[in-house]
Chains A and B, each alone.
Chain A
Amino acid sequence: MAAATLNEDLEKEDIQGLLRRGYGHLPTADFLLLRIVEPSRAAAWLDRLADEVTNAAGKSRGTAVNVALSLSGLSKLGLPSSALEGFSGRFLEGMTASYRSRALGDLDDDAPEHWRWGGPDTAPVDLLVLLYAKNEDLLKRLNEELAGGLATDGLTLVQRLDTQWSEREHFGFRDGIAQPAVKGLRDGSPLDAIKAGEFVLGYRNEYGLLAERPLVHQSADPGGILPPASLSENSQDPASEDRDLGRNGSYLVLRQLSQDVSGFWAFVDRASCRAYGHSDPAARTKLAAKIVGRWPDGSPLVLSPDSEDQGPDDDFRYHHIDPHGLRCPVGAHIRRTHPRDSLDPDPGSERSVEVDKRHRILRRGRTYGAPLSREAALNGTHHEDEERGLHFICLCANIARQFEFVQHTWANNPKFGGLDDDPDPLIGRAGRAFTVQAEPVSRRVTGLPSFVGMRGGAYFFLPGLRALRYLASLAPGEGG
């Protein structure tokens, strides 16, 4: 079988739907973390599941199903180590290595040994099944249909991550506004239109190259399920007998982040109060907005510096309107996780935007836990033990350059943008400062506690559909 030349048209039938949609029209969702107990039966189940998996081609329906596998899952299904080695280093190293924890900020109470799942002392997670439905009934039915007999299918449920639909994350801000548009799947503004290879393996990325991806020798795919490995002009070309296990796949990062809503508002209230400790609701909201970079309704501070009115507008850049952070602080959450045109080289230029484009992530998270209103958070009229947060999910083709870079070099980095001691004020670690640029001189909020906790996480591979069927075909059938 000769290797094909690179086909740049996205094979939407083979790409999982999550790369195209966040399923905003399907408000109920369950994320199932499964362990493979008996590989051959699990593989048979996975093969049946593949029929139900939502791809990126069809119209939206009343339910959606997507599935991803961890390294241990791939290995249990029988993928040989020669093929595993083709996955990116970060996927192979995992999220819990000590040096990785340092980079991701998963330290102290957030360290993997305290995680509820995905940690060194919890049950291994092999599969992640994402179920979405229009309503609770449909979701229940979907659960029963696909995961009703897990035990007989050689699987056990490690954890069910339920979700609670909300357009706003728990601190009360519109979320998920800035999203890259995968070229070929969606149209987007010049800032957001990103080459498919940044998210879908087997296509060209923003460097014009193919990201590293797992290949298998054609002898390991006697059924010819997988597509041939494409050639490109870069010299990492696979041998012509290779077949592409990665094509149309992506990496999925899942992190369960708890949010301390009352802690957030109590801190912001204290830090913005008038003399003698009187709360100042307007100043409080403003400080919270400075921390996020948007007002609660999603209006960006760069366009609406004084009050919310714009709505979740995303058509803006920083440098020409607000080079010094007087509107949106340099260290604000959205400015540092997606700096647009504000960083070197040449802030304000296309070159600056090009750098930003190499560090985008496709966010697909969902909130969990009952919402807590700002008033209740401030009055303390709630049960402290009730947990709420975000099942953070993002998709990317290069975990190191995209997810980890954003988390480490931009969010967690107290030196971001020339700052001195300011990690991300919203999701960063405790004990540091937040500088609010102003004239004549900036103001500093110090002693920020941590508002977000880490409860579990893992890196997954979201395969293309042919790859999924291939993986399901590896385990020897029951009884030979």
Chain B
Amino acid sequence: MHYFKTREDSIVANLRTVPSALATDARPVEAPHSDGLAGRTEIALERRAPRQLAVTIVATVERQHLSQLKRLLRTMAKNPEKNSVMPLSALPRTHFARLLVLDATLDLEGAPLEPQLIYMADVDEPAEGDAPLERCLVELVEVAGDGLDRIFGACVGYPPPSRATRRRRLAFLREHLVEPAAAYVNTVGRGVRQIRQEADLRTAIRGFLDRAETDWDQRDPTEVRAGIRDFVNTQGNLDWARTPPPSSGLGDRARDIVDLLGRPLGLAVLSPVLVPALPLAALLLRRQEKRDQPAPEKPTLDHVRQLAELEDHGAQNQFSAIGFVKPGLLRQLTTEVVTRAIDYASRHRYRHANLAGVKTIHFARWVFLDDRRRLIFASNYDGSLESYNDDFVDKVWWGLNPVFSNGVGYPRTSWLFFGGAKQEQQFKDYLRNHQAPTQVWFSAYPDLTALNIENNARLRAGLYGEMSSEETQEWLRRL
């Protein structure tokens, strides 16, 4: 049921490189320093931009342990950063993490599905060595071994307390690791450490401008920039800002190019089959769409309350939604192809701060569950659910319809791309109905929106180097 490709495959499928706009010559960060934000474990020197891995672990929960597990998660949820079970802030390269329990249910044929525990994390790959995903798991076991015992101890196949060794824990995680069908990263290659450092930089510069006795109005942009730079130069804790951020490694770039060309090449090879098959598939799909049964159902107040209690506690929010894939080979294939296309586009096209006009999503992933009968979508986004949904309806309906319309009950689409999300209220109700409570949710930088992060990165990138007066003015607007 859960599969795990060879290590090398996973690396290739999960890795992303740094965007070209920020990619400058790799120069090592000169000296280790202390993070401005709450003492975190020091990370090894970053010589190349870390790629972000979408770690997903799925395990079946023993029914008799379900309520106990939920209680445990509720305890954790009170303080996801620092709690006695599994303090997520102890995982220094983790951007976001969540734990959620899917209740037992029946599949489309009425067969029972056991409750499941899902752990998802967006993690910077470790700086050195091979098999980064494996090393993320090792780190998880090392940092949170006891916590893992308590959490995954509720799951089928987890070693009992007396036998939970490092090796067995690791084996369990490895066995339950699931590769996402598609993963989106707001900005490939920008690590937790860089994000937090650059936020500190902005705060420091802003504070300097607010405090300074200087009447900035009387200065020209170049003088203001020089003033800021002088200030940064005097701040020992900002010395890292004097060098550009790490850029993507050669190996990463090479793998990207192979993937960029390789996947279309594969399609080209298959084209003698695909070209005649596609129109036929489209017609068949259209026929099925007409027979689809949208389920316009308002979410119950209890369901809404349960979800809303978990929302709007800061600048960011989480979203987890799960649904059954419509039965039949055609829908299975469509889901497969579309998620692969999304993964490809995320890796090569939407890799820098902008997903087709939506600039508020930090990370998102689609993961097949239950032998591809169900698909779960999980994301970390900025602002309210209403605005997130509005972005779907207004800006990226064409990207969501092809994937979500393979879900049972989705608002009626036409030719895969049209309709669907355009039926605003029905679409919003559908999402709410399929949303599952994210029992535990962690963010490494809860006060930063994706726009803030991008802005801070550009602020840092423009601190040194030649700039015309206009460019300087443009740069100063970031403050």
Asked if A pairs with B, the answer is yes
Q: Is the CB–CB distance between B383 and A93 below 8 Å? A: no
Q: What residues on A are CB-neighbors of B217 within 8 Å? A: 438, 440
Interface contact A235-B384, CB-CB below 8 Å: no
Q: Which single member of B312, B451, B477 contacts A99 (CB below 8 Å)?
A: B312
Contact A420 to B202, CB < 8 A, known contacts A103-B384, A408-B386, A409-B383: yes
Report whether B383 and A211 are in contact in the complex, using a CB–CB cutoff of 8 Å.
Answer: no
Q: Which residues of B are found within 8 Å of A92, using beta-carbon distances?
A: 301
> Quick one: CB contact mask for B283-327 with A, threshold 8 Å, 1 for yes?
000000000001010110100110011011101000000000000
Interface string of A87-121 (1 = CB under 8 A from B): 00100110001111011000000000000000000
From the candidates A93, A211, A355, name the one contacting B304 in the complex (CB within 8 A): A93
Chain A residues within 8 Å of B477, by CB? 324, 437, 442
Picked from B224, B382, B424, the residue with its CB within 8 Å of the CB of A440 is B224
Q: Is A217 an interface residue (CB 8 A)?
A: no
Rounded to whole angstroms, the CA-CA distance of A209 and B421 in the bound complex is 12
Contacting residue for A409 out of B296, B298, B384, B425, CB 8 A: B384
Considering the complex, give the chain A residue whose CB is closest to the CB of B383.
Answer: A409
- The answer for the CA separation of A405 and B311 in the assembled complex, in Å, is 15
Instruction: Check if A207 sits within 8 Å of B422, measured CB to CB.
Output: yes
Least CB separation from A102: chain B residue: B312
Q: Chain A contacts of B237 at CB under 8 A?
A: none
Of the candidates A212, A420, A439, which one forms a contact with B221 in the assembled complex, judged by CB atoms under 8 Å apart?
Answer: A439
Q: Decide yes or no: A99 and B305 within 8 Å by CB, A408-B386, A418-B452, A440-B473 being known contacts.
A: yes
Question: What's the interface size class on A, roughly?
Answer: 35 or more
Would A440 and B384 count as touching, CB distance under 8 A? no
Distance of B467 from chain A, by nearest CB (Å): 13
Tell me if A168 is interfacial: C-beta within 8 Å of chain B.
no
Give the shortest distance, in Å, between B75 (CB) and chain A (any CB): 20
Least distance between A356 CB and chain B CB atoms (Å): 11
A93-B301, A97-B305, A441-B479 are contacts. A235–B449 as well, Cβ < 8 Å?
A: no
* Binary per-residue interface labels of chain A (410-421) against chain B in the complex, 1 for a CB within 8 Å, 0 otherwise: 000111001010
Number of chain B residues whose Cβ lies closer than 8 Å to a Cβ of chain A: 50
Q: Which residues of A contact B144 (CB under 8 A)?
A: none
Q: Decide if B386 touches A404 in the complex (CB within 8 Å).
A: yes
Q: Are B423 and A234 in contact (CB under 8 A)?
A: yes
CB contacts (< 8 Å) of B299 on chain A: these are: 89
Q: Give residues of chain A (336-365) contacting chain B, Cβ–Cβ below 8 Å.
A: 344-345, 354-355, 358
Q: Is the CB–CB distance between A99 and B311 below 8 Å?
A: yes
Whether the Cβ atoms of A409 and B422 lie closer than 8 Å is no
A409 engages B395 (CB within 8 Å): no
Whether A102 contacts B305 by the Cβ 8 Å rule is no
Q: Which of A162-178 contact B (CB under 8 A)?
A: none
In Å, the complex CA distance between A51 and B272 comes to 74
Q: Check if B220 is an interface residue, CB within 8 A of chain A.
A: yes
Task: Note all chain A residues with C-beta closer than 8 A to B359.
Answer: 344
Asked if B187 lies at the interface with its beta carbon under 8 angstroms from chain A, I say no
A444 at the interface (CB under 8 A from B): yes
Q: Main SS of the interface on chain B? A: helix
**B98, CB-defined interface residue at 8 Å:** no
A20 to chain B, nearest CB (A): 25
A444 to B411, CA, bound (A): 46
Question: What 0/1 pattern do residues 126 to 154 of A give for CB contact below 8 A with B?
Answer: 00000000000000000000000000000
Residues of A within 8 A of B167 (CB): none
Q: Of A85, A207, A409, A420, which one neighbours B387 at CB under 8 angstroms?
A: A409
Residue on B nearest A206 in the bound complex, by CB: B424
Residue A374 is within 8 A (CB to CB) of chain B in the complex: no
Q: How far is the CA of A354 from the CA of B395 in the complex (A)?
A: 11
Contacts of A99 in B (CB 8 A): 305, 308-309, 311-312
Give the residue of B309, B312, B390, B451 whose beta carbon is less than 8 angstroms from that of A415: B451
Query: Is the Cβ of B425 less than 8 Å from the Cβ of A405?
Result: no
Any chain B CB within 8 A of the CB of A236? Answer: yes
Residue among B206, B219, B382, B386 making CB contact with A400, cutoff 8 Å: B386
Name the contact of B390 in the complex, choosing from A98, A401, A439, A441 (C-beta under 8 A).
A401
Q: How far is the CA of A241 from the CA of B205 in the complex (A)?
A: 66
Q: Which one of B202, B395, B424, B479 contacts A209 once the chains associate, using CB atoms below 8 Å?
A: B424
A446 within 8 A of B: yes
Q: What residues of chain A lie closer than 8 Å to B311, measured between beta carbons?
A: 99
Question: Which of B224, B382, B423 sits near A235, CB closer than 8 Å?
Answer: B423
| B230 close to chain A: CB less than 8 A | no
B426 in contact (CB, < 8 A): yes
A235 B411 Cβ-Cβ under 8 A: yes
Which of B359, B387, B425 has the largest count of A CB atoms less than 10 A from its CB?
Answer: B425
Tell me the chain A residues, 358-387 only, with Cβ under 8 Å from chain B.
Answer: 358
Complex: chain A residue closest to B223, CB-CB: A440
Enumerate chain A residues within 8 angstroms of B221, measured Cβ to Cβ.
Answer: 439-441
Out of A85, A89, A102, A442, which one reaches B479, CB within 8 Å?
A442
Asked whether B298 lies within 8 Å of A85 as measured between CB atoms, the reply is: yes
Nearest B-chain residue to A354, judged by Cβ: B394
What per-residue 1/0 map shows which CB atoms of B5-27 lie under 8 Å from chain A? 00000000000000000000000
Supply 23 A–B pairs (Cβ within 8 Å), ascending by A: A85-B298, A89-B299, A93-B301, A93-B305, A97-B308, A99-B312, A103-B384, A209-B424, A235-B296, A235-B412, A236-B423, A344-B357, A345-B395, A414-B315, A420-B202, A439-B476, A440-B217, A440-B220, A440-B223, A441-B209, A441-B476, A442-B476, A442-B479
- Chain B contact residues, CB within 8 Å of chain A: 202, 206, 209-210, 216-217, 219-221, 223-224, 294, 296, 298-299, 301, 304-305, 308-309, 311-313, 315, 357, 359, 382-384, 386-387, 390, 393-395, 411-412, 422-426, 449, 451-452, 455, 473, 476-477, 479
- What 14 additional pairs, Cβ within 8 angstroms, besides A408-B384, A418-B451? A89-B299, A97-B308, A99-B308, A207-B393, A212-B298, A235-B296, A235-B426, A401-B390, A405-B387, A409-B386, A415-B452, A420-B206, A438-B217, A440-B221
Binding site for B on A (CB under 8 A): 85, 89, 92-93, 97-100, 102-103, 207, 209, 211-212, 234-236, 324, 344-345, 354-355, 358, 398, 400-401, 404-405, 408-409, 413-415, 418, 420, 437-444, 446
